[in-house]
Amino acid sequence: MVLLFAFIGSAQAQLKTPSVSAIASAHPIATAAGHEVLAAGGNAFDAAVAVSATLAVVEPAGSGIGGGGFWLLHRAEDNFQTMVDGRERAPLAAHRDMYLDDDGAVIKGLSMNGALAAGIPGEPAALVHIAEKYGRLPLSTSLAPAIRAARDGFAVDERYRKLVGFRLKQMQKDSETATIFLHNNQAPAVGHIIKQPDLANTLAAIASNGRAGFYSGDVAEKLIKGVHQGGGIWSQQDLDEYQVLERQPIRGNYNGIRITSAAPPSSGGIALVTMFNILSGFELDKMDEATRIHTIVEAMRRAYRDRAEYLGDPDFVDIPTDKLTHPFYADGLRNSIRLDHATASSNLPGVVQNSAGQDTTHFSVLDQEGNRVAATLSINYPFGATFTAAGTGVLLNNEMDDFSAKPGAPNAYGLVGAEANAIAPGKRPLSSMSPTFLETDDRLAILGTPGGSRIITMVLLGALEFAANKTAADWVSRPRFHHQFLPDAIQFEAAALTTAQRAELESLGHQLKATNRQYGNMQAILWHKANNQIEAASDPRGNGKADTYKH
């Protein structure tokens, strides 16, 4: 009887469609662009095209059509799910040692700044693919808000100024970048309007000609010419050969919550499932807070070790996905955790840990049919390579820095590894981007965040909030801590650990390292299917906008 009731309840939940649509993104203009396209008859996939392209215009520090990303899609009518992989590829002229000097040492900054740091962009191809395969509207409609924002301009805010602050010296070195994104060669004042007419024309070319508007013809010629002038190595063959790929998302389960997340070349889904599998053997809710944090940190440490050892582009390396996501494998990892002592990372088999870039962006969309998108997009460091191909408005990524510039060589600790993520022509660099769905019979979450190598642990902490029945506002605002195997320290926001908890963690053998500032910019949606209430929340650390709308 109880079972039957549960089944009916669950079936009713499945039949419901959301009472409103919801969008959470890192910029109010991008959130408005998504709602505009939904109001024009589009679905969540059209809205995702609009939000992605508009973020490329109004949040140029985080993502852009010169970059790439992962779009996790769920189509309601048949429960079809896929991950659209629009990750950048290494140029065909790239090679394993391209960032090393004659002595084999890494040349500082070469994979970070300038045209040589740029992979072949995937975002334009991904937007065309999503619009044509999953959307309802022509690109001329879904790209219209982005084209308008590029032509009319957007107002600089404090966050933009802060991100310029990180990259000012490099931005000043490229006159095209400085002209577009600075004012009198300095960080523009709050309220200054940034107009991007060249980018508007490039977006209009994509709207009219689809992928050919970017990967061939006038725009492609200017991209290649600009890249070569900037010391880069792109060719027309690179642009012709770029392909969007669809990949099976990574799936797992934690205490009845179904997890769907990013597949390689993102490390996010596998690392998340490994951590959840480890944690499912502990009763976290029965632990005191310091023990709970210790236990979560030990799960993070082990998953990040495996990330560095095994993960890379699945089209180039064999990834033991089944093993890494299997509960039996997690049993072994869990058995090595001691509740009374931290495991030194040096006591686990060692590998070099490369860190992913700090910027990037995430947005979440739910439409009233129940279609949904979680998308994390990047040009890597703030303002990417700080290089704009003249006449295109396209700010290039520095995603090549997500490769291991020097795998196999002993690092300062005498550790070797990261071979799986070595540079090779046409290969996609390993990412941490983790767009994620969490689902129970009566609740659904869509979430993700920027934040480089800390992305995965932020999504883990957000998901644990979901597991504890907290609100979406709680997940995006909760203070954060992180461990990534190396460096062997718990990184934490000041509010994440009390003085007593810090002392207790230190007594367990952990090293603590407070982050200088808060990190992440989570954008989340929560649908309570039972009462059809929908929450949308944008991280208070950023200035994004999350809202719901009845179309």
In order, the DSSP letters of 7-59 are: HHHHHHHHH---SSEEEEESSHHHHHHHHHHHHTT--HHHHHHHHHHHHHHH-
Q: Is the distance from CB of 346 to CB of 301 less than 8 angstroms?
A: no
Applying CB under 6 A, among 46, 367, 402, 488 the residue interacting with ligand GLY is: 402
Give the nearer residue to ligand GLY in terms of CB position, either 313 or 402: 402
In the Cβ-directed half-sphere of 128, how many Cα atoms lie within 13 Å? 22
Give the helix/strand (H/E) hosting 346.
none
- Taking the complex as a whole, the smallest distance from the CB of residue 181 to ligand GLY amounts, in Å, to 19
Residues 60-89 within binding reach of ligand GLY (CB under 6 A):
none
What is the spatial distance between Cα 353 and Cα 413, in angstroms, rounded to a whole number? 11
Least distance CB 397 / ligand GLY (angstroms): 8
Which residue, 91 or 135, has its beta carbon nearer to ligand GLY? 91
> Segment near ligand GLY (CB under 6 A), from 73-81, 90-98, 296-304, 354-362?
354-362
Nearer to ligand GLY, 431 or 548 (CB): 431
Is residue 313 at the binding interface for ligand GLY, with CB under 6 A as the rule?
A: no
Least distance in Å: CB of 384 to ligand GLY? 9
**Residue 431 within binding range of ligand GLY, rule CB under 6 A:** yes
Q: Name which position in 337, 356, 444, 461 contacts ligand GLY (CB under 6 A).
A: 356
CB 418 within 8 A of CB 355: no
Question: Pairing between strand 436-439 and 361-366?
Answer: unpaired
Whole-angstrom distance, CA of residue 250 vs CA of residue 107: 35
Segment near ligand GLY (CB under 6 A); pick from 101-109, 157-165, 425-433, 465-473: 425-433
Strand, coil or helix: what is 377? strand
In the list 357, 407, 462, 544, the residue contacting ligand GLY (rule: CB under 6 A) is 357
Binding of ligand GLY by 113 (CB under 6 A): no
- What is the Cα–Cα distance from 68 to 201, expressed in whole angstroms? 20
Radius of gyration of the chain (CA): 22
Q: Report the nearest approach of ligand GLY to the CB of residue 482 (Å).
A: 14
486: which DSSP letter? S
Determine which residue in the list 260, 277, 380, 538 makes contact with ligand GLY, applying CB under 6 A: 380
Q: Which is nearer to ligand GLY, 68 or 544 (CB)?
A: 68
Amino acid, res. 508: L
- Scanning 186-194, 209-217, 355-363, 495-503 for contacts with ligand GLY by CB under 6 A, the matching segment is 355-363
Annotated catalytic residue: which of 31, 274, 360, 376? 360
- Evaluate whether 477 touches 465 at the Cβ level (below 8 Å): no
Cβ pair 261, 274 in contact under 8 A:
no
Q: For ligand GLY, give the closer residue by CB, 119 or 417.
A: 119
What residues are paired with 538 via a beta bridge?
523
* 551/549 Cα distance (integer angstroms): 6
Among positions 274, 432, 523, 548, the unique one binding ligand GLY when judged by CB under 6 A: 432
Contact window for ligand GLY (CB under 6 A) among 172-180, 363-371, 430-438, 463-471: 430-438
Q: Does 433 bind ligand GLY (CB under 6 A)?
A: yes
Compose the 234-263 pattern: x for residues touching ligand GLY by CB under 6 A, - for all others.
------------------------------
Q: Residue 357 and residue 126: Cα distance in Å, rounded? A: 21
**Please, which residue, 213 or 520, has the CB nearer to ligand GLY?**
520
Catalytic status, residue 17? no
**What is the end-to-end Cα distance of the chain in Å, rounded?**
39
- Angle, to 10 degrees, between the axis of helix 289-310 and the axis of helix 455-467? 140
* Cβ 413 vs Cβ 425: under 8 Å: no
Site for ligand GLY in 449-488 (CB under 6 A): 452
Binding of residue 360 to ligand GLY (CB under 6 A): yes
Which residues contact ligand GLY (rule: CB under 6 A)? Answer: 356-357, 360, 378, 380, 399, 402, 431-433, 452
* Catalytic annotation, residues: 360
